[in-house]
Amino acid sequence: MAERTYALLSSNEGKFASINGSTQIRAGVIRPEILIPDELSNGECSDFKESDLAISDGSLIRVIRAPYFGKVGK
């Protein structure tokens, strides 16, 4: 398991979570996901920007092709 993923999950130990383990690798890539609600949130996301959806300078990415498969970087 990736170190950052483990740290994130560990920091939320004991909280309720919803897990979707669906996987389909290739053309219609679907990856497993875990949703952990923020008890302090009112349900609104005020800091979301449309530009957050685009890869740009400084974006954190994971390489999915050889020879650097699995590497994470900016």
pLDDT of residue 43: 67
Is the confidence at residue 71, as pLDDT, over 70? yes
Residue 17, pLDDT score: 92
User: Could you tell me which of 59, 42, 43 has the C-alpha nearest to residue 51?
Assistant: 59
pLDDT, tens only, 8-61: 999 999 999 999 988 776 667 777 889 998 877 676 766 777 777 788 888 888
Residue that the structure tokens 């959806």 belong to? 53
At CB < 8 A and 24+ separation, what contacts does 8-11 make?
A: 9/34
Where in the chain are the domains?
A: 1-39
Helix (H, G, I), strand (E, B) or coil at 6: helix
Whole-angstrom CA distances from 19 to 8, 33, 49, 68, 73 are 15, 6, 26, 28, 26
